[in-house]
Structure 1
Amino acid sequence: MNKKIKITIIGGGSSYTPEFIRGLIERSDELEIRELWLVDVELGQKKLRIIYEFAQRMLKKANLKWKIFATLDRKEALKNADFVATQFRVGGIDTRVLDERIPLSHQLLGQETNGAGGIFKALRTIPVALEIAKDIRELCPQAWLINFTNPSGIITQTFIKEGKISKTIGLCNVPLIHKSNEAAALGIPEDELFFKFAGLDHFHWHRVWNRDGDEVTAKLIKILYQNPDPKQQFVQNIDAGKYNYEQIADLGILPCEYHRYYYATDEMLQEQLKDYKKNTVRAQEVKKIELELFELYKDPELDTVPPELKKRGGAHYSDAACDAISSIYNDKGETMVVSTENRGAIAELPSDTIVEVSARITSHGAEPIAWGKFASAPRGFLQLIKGMEEVIISAGKNGNYGTALQAFTLNPLVTSGKTAQKVLDELLLAHEQYLPQFADCIAELKKSSRR
């Protein structure tokens, strides 16, 4: 029998935490949990208390005797943990509003993990990730780190390569959404299909086979993209911008929903600008949804996850996180889509870089499944975005203005020249309190603005 484990959730005051706890409860027959720790920062203290009390009711209903704790002391929460799950947002939802609205004010796409906003979410998060990594090395060096913090691929690479936490797996719910929706489109049970993914977090492609061994990728491309339902929206927070069918057919592989920002940029930007003018960008909508959710969570009679959580956009979140923990804990060897070291799975990227691929998850971590070679179009795109991710991590560590501008220039959703500098400067000033590595740079910007 496996030992009883301690799980620590960093960002325990998140609106997603009840979904995570539900997933653990549903797997209580395969996970021997002794302690569950929820930790957050002072900014999230009120939300943490609400989540803690809601979680207690959930466990009581499930008749589980797990010990559960809530704290602002990260070191206390991490001590001797067996699994650490990270799902934190530096600065809270208000920073996301700025990430989306500031680029849009300059006619650039504003999005949580893509474009200028995505770059700045990473820049704010990297220093905190490195602090967490230091604590893990000191307090629970044997622990597995399950990262959900966005941009998940960049932060996972930060934990593994810069933070020296080799026992790290990065997760995203988007591949699970694809699998579910594509099985429905084919009218075939999901467990009768084999999916193979490769690329980067929010920038991957995949292929699909049926149980007879026949590839059905082309069939799915035709179903989903030749004459799509204009209201079809697979991912809650992504507008249904229309792909060009001929382009996707030429690719011959299925795109990630986030590829809409790259393959249908003009259409996506116009939709976002409409929301910007109405003060209803996605971050502002999420802020309203979270207020509603926490009012529901406060209800002393509530002991199950409310259906309203689906509006938040975290479908299959608990499945991804809890399946990864269970597969490691029980040495299951389940196939999942994770961010992990490439190790030759994608021929065109370095072996030690972090990629998002299908992998078998065992007690010793992720074993990537080989994809092979990409054709020229996806290969070029993939190498560009991977290079940009590495530049972002460098800027996030060193706080160098020129490096940050390099990341802007590499990103296909950001322009170059004066507009890029203006957006970069505005975002640096807007997020000053969460960018300590850029302190000297921001001081110079303030001086120049007074001249």
Structure 2
Amino acid sequence: MKLTFIGAGGVRTPLVIQSILNFQDRLPLDTVCMMDIDPERLELIKLACKPRLAKGAKFNIEWTTDARKAIRGADFIVTTFREGSLESRVIDEQVPLKYGVLGQETTGPGGFAMALRTVPVILHYVELIKELAPDAWLLNFTNPAGILTETITRVAGFEHAVGICDNPSAMMRAAAAYVHTDPDKLFPEYYGLNHLGWMRSIYLDGKDLIPDILQKMQTSGETIEHLPFDVNEIAALGTIPNEYVYFYYYPRKSVENLLKSGQSRAMQILPFNQELYAGLRRIRDEEDTPDKIEAIYLKYLDQRQSTYMTLETGHDAENAAVEEKPLEKQDAKKAMDESAEGYSAVALNVIEGLLEKPKLMILNVPNRGAISGMAENDVIETTCLVGNGVVRPFAMGSIPDADLGLMKSVKAYEKLTIQAAVEDSYELALEALTLHPLVPGYDIARNILDDYLAQHGDYFPKLLNER
């Protein structure tokens, strides 16, 4: 079996390698191919992965900048690239803040800009897959995951594809820890879109645990880990929202917190990424450096994780800062394992489910009637059965009107954004951004779009048609 990752020069690739090592005895892996268009970053990340691979990889690993070579003959392909790199994300997030609108990677104008840059690229890769590996499964991790998965399945018509996000699986692990059980024993009823979803029920031995969880939250005053909502608000909802719903429930507060901090998340983590690559450059010609490599990467990982959503929610990142001291070996392995479980292990669980062992997973897939009120080919994020070479959503039926209304509004924006990218249309792009629930009207949408066109340069479509 050949497994390919497109975008392997990214900072999370060492976590991917850790996940593959954890799964290698459970999957019939022969070859793992790591591909990226940036040769220097690919070489540096290869160095960052060296200590992990030295500990007993049972598969052949290839590193390449040739997309055709990476895709040819692959059985599974994971897309995890960022068009324009992190520098483009800074523009995505900072431009809206100038107009008092949320600047965030996937939600609102930030996700819109990233989608316009990335839709043409993902369509190019799908055409290569159709030519060179037509029977492969495509697992899309690239953000905005829901929009790109819909581009793959509806626009390109490639059915062997799912969208993956590690956030719902993290919710399940946190909920399982809250009730002191194994997440594999739970059956979740989750519905929504990517980064806009709700956990309606969590079953254990036929009993829905949500009422008890909500009662426990109100009694203790403590929510499930990483849930940035008031306990009484969650109790009133009767569901557990994905943490990204915070941006829809508290848009003004989110913007105020970001403006107060003076930076967006992209600006916050850009120095971490730059420090990681710079550290790897300094030692790439040295010998016997596994401990140094490990220390550089673990420092990066701790910096990133300890500051997650601190800006948007107004939490004090300084109190969560990482002490700059080397971790013990057992702590280092634990940190890598836990981080890998929350990222690429989701993709490997999908692969294991398709090949060997059926699984329940929360994925981005075409609706197929699962959520009443959404179109058949709308890509949604919901509980799915993965097994026997297929992925199918469970029927959620009717959902609360407020949730459905928000989903339909965001879905209309998503579809227009895809159409604008495909048709290279300024008018459609402007209409899409105007429709987004977090954008307060046409004039601000136009200002944001024009600023993107001016600042992104060649990384942004020209949007000439109908202008």
Which residue among 39, 60, 63 is the counterpart of 1:45? 39
Asked if structure 2 preserves the Cα contact closer than 8 Å seen for 1:196 and 1:206, the reply is yes
Shift of 1:87: 0.4
Residues of 1 paired with 2:421 and 2:154: CA distance? 13
Q: Which residue number in structure 2 is paired with residue 147 of structure 1?
A: 140
Q: Which residue number in structure 1 is paired with residue 334 of structure 2?
A: none
Give the residue type in structure 2 aligned to 1:291: Q
Residues of 2 paired with 1:131 and 1:359: CA distance? 28
Residues 1:190 and 2:183 aligned together: yes
Q: Which residue number in structure 2 is paired with residue 431 of structure 1?
A: 456
Structure 2 unaligned residues grouped into runs of 5+:
284-288, 306-338
Give the residue type in structure 2 aligned to 1:245: N
Residues of 1 paired with 2:157 and 2:203: CA distance? 39
Residues 1:356 and 2:342 aligned together: no
Shift of 1:222: 4.5
DSSP 3-state at the match of 2:207: coil
Instruction: Spell out, residue by residue over 1:253-289, the C-alpha distance to the aligned partner (whole angstroms, 9 max, x if none).
Output: 211110000111121111111122xxx3210121122
Give the residue type in structure 1 aligned to 2:417: I
DSSP 3-state at the match of 1:438: coil
Distance 1:346 1:424, change over 3 A: same
Residues 1:403 and 2:392 aligned together: no
Residues 1:31 and 2:33 aligned together: no
Shift of 1:292: 3.3
Residues of 1 paired with 2:221 and 2:120: CA distance? 42
Residues 1:17 and 2:24 aligned together: no
Residues of 2 paired with 1:308 and 1:225: CA distance? 36
Asked if structure 2 preserves the Cα contact closer than 8 Å seen for 1:20 and 1:322, the reply is no
Asked if structure 1 preserves the Cα contact closer than 8 Å seen for 2:150 and 2:379, the reply is yes
Asked if structure 1 preserves the Cα contact closer than 8 Å seen for 2:116 and 2:461, the reply is no
Shift of 1:336: 0.6
TM-score, normalisation: structure 1: 0.88
Instruction: Spell out, residue by residue over 1:86-105, the C-alpha distance to the aligned partner (whole angstroms, 9 max, x if none).
Output: 00000000011111111111
Q: Write out aligned runs for 1:45-194 (5 A).
A: 45-62=39-56, 64-194=57-187
Q: Which residue number in structure 2 is paired with residue 216 of structure 1?
A: 209
Give the residue type in structure 1 aligned to 2:348: C
Asked if structure 2 preserves the Cα contact closer than 8 Å seen for 1:38 and 1:77, the reply is yes
DSSP 3-state at the match of 1:355: strand
Shift of 1:209: 3.3
Asked if structure 2 preserves the Cα contact closer than 8 Å seen for 1:225 and 1:243, the reply is no
Asked if structure 1 preserves the Cα contact closer than 8 Å seen for 2:186 and 2:204, the reply is yes
Distance 1:376 1:250, change over 3 A: farther
Give the 4+ runs in structure 1 shifted more than 4 A.
Answer: 222-230, 295-299, 302-305
Q: Which residue number in structure 2 is paired with residue 258 of structure 1?
A: 244
DSSP 3-state at the match of 2:62: strand
Residues of 1 paired with 2:27 and 2:75: CA distance? 12
Residues of 1 paired with 2:220 and 2:113: CA distance? 36
Shift of 1:311: 4.0
DSSP 3-state at the match of 1:431: helix
Residues of 2 paired with 1:150 and 1:285: CA distance? 18
Shift of 1:226: 8.1
Q: Which residue number in structure 1 is paired with residue 437 of structure 2?
A: 412
Shift of 1:52: 2.0
Distance 1:346 1:439, change over 3 A: same
Distance 1:188 1:7, change over 3 A: closer
Asked if structure 1 preserves the Cα contact closer than 8 Å seen for 2:363 and 2:384, the reply is yes
Asked if structure 1 preserves the Cα contact closer than 8 Å seen for 2:453 and 2:462, the reply is no
Distance 1:68 1:253, change over 3 A: same
Distance 1:310 1:157, change over 3 A: farther
Residues of 2 paired with 1:417 and 1:347: CA distance? 30
Residues 1:381 and 2:406 aligned together: yes
Q: Which residue number in structure 1 is paired with residue 358 of structure 2?
A: 333
DSSP 3-state at the match of 2:384: strand
DSSP 3-state at the match of 1:408: helix
Distance 1:373 1:51, change over 3 A: same
Residues of 1 paired with 2:302 and 2:4: CA distance? 24
Q: Which residue number in structure 1 is paired with residue 256 of structure 2?
A: 270
Give the residue type in structure 2 aligned to 1:46: E
Asked if structure 1 preserves the Cα contact closer than 8 Å seen for 2:423 and 2:465, the reply is no
Identity across aligned pairs (percent)?
32
Asked if structure 2 preserves the Cα contact closer than 8 Å seen for 1:243 and 1:264, the reply is no
TM-score, normalisation: structure 2: 0.85
Asked if structure 2 preserves the Cα contact closer than 8 Å seen for 1:290 and 1:312, the reply is no
Q: Write out aligned runs for 1:246-325 (5 A).
A: 246=233, 248-276=234-262, 280-295=263-278, 300-302=289-291, 306=298, 308-313=300-305, 316-325=342-351
Residues of 2 paired with 1:354 and 1:310: CA distance? 33
Q: Which residue number in structure 1 is paired with residue 286 of structure 2?
A: none
Shift of 1:169: 1.1
Asked if structure 1 preserves the Cα contact closer than 8 Å seen for 2:416 and 2:428, the reply is yes
Asked if structure 2 preserves the Cα contact closer than 8 Å seen for 1:24 and 1:31, the reply is no
Shift of 1:56: 4.2
Instruction: Spell out, residue by residue over 1:59-92, the C-alpha distance to the aligned partner (whole angstroms, 9 max, x if none).
Output: 2212x24222222211111111111110000000
Distance 1:417 1:245, change over 3 A: same
Shift of 1:190: 2.6
Question: How many residues are treated as equivalent by the alignment?
Answer: 424
DSSP 3-state at the match of 1:433: helix
Which residue among 324, 349, 368 is the counterpart of 2:393? 368
